[in-house]
Amino acid sequence: METNEIPIADQDAEQEEIDIAPTEEIIKNLPDDSRSHLIPTLQKVQDVYRFLPMPAVELVMEALNVTRAEIYGVISFYPQLRITEPGKYIIKLCYGTACFVKGAPIIGDKINDCYHIRPGETDDSKLFTLQTASCLGNCGAAPMAIVGDDTHGNIDPENYLEVLSEYKKDDAEEAPATEEATA
Ligand code: FES
């Protein structure tokens, strides 16, 4: 599994191929007091790539005149900022009080048993990234989770892996046909 730790040097090989133009565009439009725009700038860059690739982070550092320590301090502090590519679906599992007492920890354990991921990690097939939330705003439907764009409420902890397996199935169906299959 992958985590959101900060192996700065190790990222270079994997991330050589990104298109840096969108980051340049974001930086070009920064106001003069740009240091105070560090977090919104990182969020915009992440919106483009779904995570913060190293070359883009380097450009932001240079443009905003912030040190590597500063920028990674911010990235480590905000769990929504990611330096590794997330899975196709981000699972936001609510661990707020209402969801916690209704079985969120059981759901988290089952996800870990099946996909070997803890909060902040992505499974080896890059299908799911697990995150936790402190409240998803609908405690009456606890336990709650959001998977990609889908909201799941009143989850049965014992059967939730079946729900997640549907995403796995969809992903397999979307995969490009192999030469053998099309011959
Ligand atoms: S505590 Fe989970 S939705 Fe509020």
In this structure, are residues 115 and 37 in contact, taking their beta carbons and an 8 Å threshold?
no
Q: Is the CB of 141 under 6 A from ligand 1?
A: no
Q: Is the CB of 104 under 6 A from ligand 1?
A: no
Q: Is the CB of 26 under 6 A from ligand 1?
A: no
Q: Which of 14-18, 52-56, 105-109 is the least confident region?
A: 14-18
Distance 103 CA to ligand 1 centre (A): 12
pLDDT in tens, 26-84: 999 887 667 789 999 999 999 999 999 999 999 999 999 999 999 999 999 987 899 98
pLDDT band at 128 (very low <50, low <70, confident <90, very high): very high
Give the domains, in start order, of the chain with CATH numbers. Answer: 8-77 (no CATH), 89-174 (3.40.30.10)
Q: Quote the tokens at residue 130.
A: 């697990």
Pocket test for ligand 1, best of 93, 134, 136 (most atoms within 8 A of CB): 136
pLDDT of 9 above 80: no
pLDDT band at 13 (very low <50, low <70, confident <90, very high): very low
Residue with more model confidence, 158 or 13: 158
- Calculate the average pLDDT of the chain: 87
Question: 30: exposed, middle or buried (C-beta count within 10 Å: 0-12, 13-18, 19+)?
Answer: middle
| Whole-angstrom distance, CA of residue 29 vs CA of residue 125 | 37
Residue with the smallest CA separation from ligand 1 atom 1 is 96
Determine the Cα angle at 6 with ends 64 and 26, to 5°.
Answer: 30
Kindly report the pTM of this predicted structure: 0.74
**Alpha-carbon separation of residue 120 from 15, 22, 53, 130 (angstroms):** 20, 26, 17, 6
Q: Is the CB of 138 under 6 A from ligand 1?
A: yes
